[in-house]
Amino acid sequence: MLGRDKTMPLWHLFNGRIYRILSAFAVAIICSYGIVTAQEFGSYRTISSGNFQAVAIWEVYDGSNWIPASAPPDQNHDIYIDQTHLLTLTQNESVKSLFINAEAGAGQKLNLNGFNLDIFGTLQGFEGPAPGIPNRAWNSINWIGNSISSTLTFRGTSRVIIPQNAWSAQSDRSRYSVIFDPGPGKTLIIEEAFKALSFTIRSGTVIQRLDTSVNPAKCATFSFNTETTVYGTGPFGEFTIEGGAQLISECNEGILFRSSSISALLFSVLPGGELILEGETPQIEAANFQLNGKIIHRGGSGPKSFLSKSYPDAAIPNSIYDLELQGTEDLTLPAELFVFGNMSQSGSGEFIASSSHLHFVGTGDQLLAGFDLQVENLTLNKPSGELITEEDILVSQTFFLQNGSLNLNGNGLEVNSSGSGGIVYTGGSWKNADYFLYRNTPTSLNSTNGTFPFEDVKNGGLRLVQLLGNTDGGDLEISFTEYEGAEYNSNFQDTDGTTILYRLFSYFQFSGLNFSTNSLELRISADQLIVDDVDDLRIVGTGYAAPGNNLPGLDPTLLWARRLVPIDEFEGVNFTVGSFRTLSILPLDFLQFKVEREKSQALITWKVTGEREGTFQIFRSLIPNEKWDLIGEVDYQEENKGIYKFIDKQSPLYQAVYYRVKHSNNLTNLDSWSSTTRLAPVGKIPEDGMIFPNPYHSGPIYLEIPTDWKTQELLLQIIDKKGKLIWKGVYGKETLQHLLEPLPAGLYVIQIIAPNRQFMFRLIKK
């Protein structure tokens, strides 16, 4: 049997009596119970109940006989807890292998008593007097206990820690937690079902075996205590894979649950942790998933399905960080999947996303590596960073652009091959596109389905393109050819006789629309080009007049150059931004802009190039589409070499905050803006509220109170340290700032009073 190093001769069965000639009856008994294995030299067994450190409860095997122990066991010794005995820990302990009697009436066997027991060998059950015969664990009482802080920790070398036929999950009321911590590069193998209060893989790799010698194949499941009178009737139990650790599961159903019908409470993969799934249809039954590490699908002998669930009370595991497909088998993705990190494909197996809606929502750069993405629906909604692809992206239905940048990296983008979708644009952009192909172009184009957000990498800025009006359909293809700079003395005439003096070198080409007598309004944004007046803007060709007629420029922010162009005159023309005045490329480019939390403050950093003398103004907003507040200024400093920072000491903690920076050029009176960055809240508002900044000097002050209070009429009182009432009246955020700013330095009590409750805060005024 795994876990014991040498076998015992068959004639040593039954209390060590020697039978040189076995009867047929005795042979039958041996065959029914399995081969008997011997204890190692130096193994310990209990002879009574007692504390681990009590030497009197132990006997030691000297190679021939059991003799009284002279010291308690340690990590070099196997221990056997015999029938009717209870072993209790009074401190953290270590053993080699742990053998527990699993017979009927075995009673409570091991009281961990809030301490930890390190195991450097195996965990097994046995039947009969120690060393006995391997037997499954089935005790339905508090067999091993007695709390979630009571832990068994598996350490040591790579090995099988739960051998086949020597354990089970029938010990359904055991009250202990399990930690796997063998160290980096070590592998622990589990061959039988395992039940506890919680499981944590802290380091190394844990392999969950699938026994294929039986039909149906049997999974070495992980499950949790089913004692509903103590732990409730709903989902219970947490399984965590920490950073640097791995779980490899060979199973399909039964990887994790609480019971045969109730889910675990939480399955968590922390950043840096990995879950490797080798089954074709793996299922984890958990009410909550936090998949913040890497999920790897590999192995198997047929097409694979993404991690799923089957229990009614289980959540759908549809929000992940990194996803990798290894090997030769295809992987079908779920109907909806939110991706915060990378997707990669190695080997000949492919992602099947033809019926999937993928949402890319991470805050940093995300990479699509090793495959062309063919997906039904795609959403880009990234607060920051880029989605970078190594190959083409083909969206059969709808591409939802909401926020963030898609870096096509020289590849193509194709949308709406099914004819039932299109572009839904509310924000965001793409760049480095080899081509954009709009299959089954809508017959009515508007700002939602007819906006194409190209980034101008060579010159900076967002070169939005809009086509507005009615078409006869077709497969619209748009290509954007980028060249740095502009021509400042173009000197050709537009169709209305106006002399064009300026044109951007970068240009667009359009093709594929069905012939039509209709015209479309073409718009191209002059974002981050210096424009004195939007009426100066024109859409022109590269050294010649564009077809159609000029329309007045619009919007001092988006800077639309506009033209009415007949559909049948789009092809074969280079369209770009021009002007009858001399423009120049904006000299300032924000190379980097980020915001991060430093304790209760926000640290804003940015890096620019092409800088000239001027001032940086920092703006903050809680509702970026409605109101921006100027919170500080930083002057140009040549010695900074384009790198600046600003600390917002009054950044709200419990709601999302948005920041952006404006550079004002002192020489040209021209402005340029950074992108907008969102700073996430630190968490929910504490139940007893929060006031900050505290200590307070001047400026905005934030008093966070529960949401349900904000609908009530609240009373505000300000009291000084002597108990004198300074002010009393109706609460309002602006009122609070105006009242506190003029007060002298000192300690004040702020009271917010509702009909049935009140909050009290102590505030230091500097």
What CATH number did the domain enclosing 629 receive? 2.60.40.10
pLDDT at 31 over 90: no
Identify the residue whose tokens are 């190394």.
204
If you average pLDDT over residues 546-556, what whole number do you get? 92
Query: Do 514 and 601 fall within a single domain?
Result: no
Identify the residue whose tokens are 């009073």.
753
Residue 354 within any structural domain of the chain: no
If you average pLDDT over residues 613-619, what whole number do you get? 87
If you average pLDDT over residues 95-123, what whole number do you get? 93
The residues near 2 (Cβ < 8 Å, ≥ 6 apart) are 122, 160, 163, 164
* Banded model confidence at residue 7, pLDDT cuts 50, 70, 90: very low
* Banded model confidence at residue 536, pLDDT cuts 50, 70, 90: confident
Ramachandran category for residue 385: left, alpha or beta (phi over 0 → left; psi -120 to 50 → alpha): left
Query: Do 158 and 177 fall within a single domain?
Result: yes
Residue 47 within any structural domain of the chain: yes
* Banded model confidence at residue 79, pLDDT cuts 50, 70, 90: very high
In the structure encoding, which two tokens stand for residue 756, read together?
């049935």
If you average pLDDT over residues 274-300, what whole number do you get? 96
As a whole number of angstroms, the distance between CA 58 and CA 79 comes to: 9
* Banded model confidence at residue 739, pLDDT cuts 50, 70, 90: confident
Residue 717 within any structural domain of the chain: yes
C-alpha distance from residue 438 to each of 54, 338, 373, 451 (Å):
79, 25, 16, 11
Query: Do 215 and 170 fall within a single domain?
Result: no
Q: Determine the pLDDT at residue 23.
A: 34
Q: Determine the pLDDT at residue 141.
A: 82
If you average pLDDT over residues 564-570, what whole number do you get? 97
Query: Do 615 and 674 fall within a single domain?
Result: yes
| CA neighbor of 523 nearest in space, from 582, 600, 454, 588 | 454
Which among 514, 548, 579 is the end of a domain? 579
Query: Do 635 and 698 fall within a single domain?
Result: no
Query: Do 18 and 79 fall within a single domain?
Result: yes
* Strand ranges in 408-506 using DSSP code E only, listed in sequence order: 412-415, 422-425, 429-431, 435-438, 444-445, 451-455, 462-470, 474-481, 486-487, 492-493, 499-500, 502-504
Residue 120 within any structural domain of the chain: yes
Helices marked H in 283-422 — which ranges?
Answer: none
pLDDT at 697 over 70: yes
- Number of folded domains that form the chain: 5
Ramachandran category for residue 29: left, alpha or beta (phi over 0 → left; psi -120 to 50 → alpha): alpha
Residue 372 within any structural domain of the chain: no
Q: Long-range contacts made by residues 344-348, C-beta under 8 angstroms, separation at least 24?
A: 344/368, 344/369, 344/370, 344/371, 345/369, 345/370, 345/371, 346/370
Mean pLDDT for the chain? 88
Which among 625, 653, 679 is the end of a domain? 679
Query: Do 575 and 596 fall within a single domain?
Result: no
The residues near 39 (Cβ < 8 Å, ≥ 6 apart) are 4, 45, 61, 78, 80, 130, 131
Residue 541 within any structural domain of the chain: yes
Residue 376 within any structural domain of the chain: no
* Banded model confidence at residue 34, pLDDT cuts 50, 70, 90: very low
Which among 645, 679, 713 is the end of a domain? 679
Query: Do 664 and 723 fall within a single domain?
Result: no
Q: Determine the pLDDT at residue 638.
A: 74
129 upstream amide cis, omega within 30 of 0: no
As a whole number of angstroms, the distance between CA 613 and CA 94 comes to: 68
Query: Do 62 and 155 fall within a single domain?
Result: yes
Which residue segment(s) compose the domain that 303 sits in?
A: 197-332
Query: Do 498 and 617 fall within a single domain?
Result: no
As a whole number of angstroms, the distance between CA 242 and CA 256 comes to: 17
Residue 414 within any structural domain of the chain: no
pLDDT at 253 over 90: yes
Query: Do 176 and 221 fall within a single domain?
Result: no
* 502 compared with 294, residue with greater pLDDT: 294
As a whole number of angstroms, the distance between CA 32 and CA 11 comes to: 16
The residues near 724 (Cβ < 8 Å, ≥ 6 apart) are none
* Banded model confidence at residue 688, pLDDT cuts 50, 70, 90: low
Are 518 and 552 in contact by the 8 Å Cβ rule? The answer is no
What DSSP state is assigned to residue 488? S
Query: Do 498 and 618 fall within a single domain?
Result: no
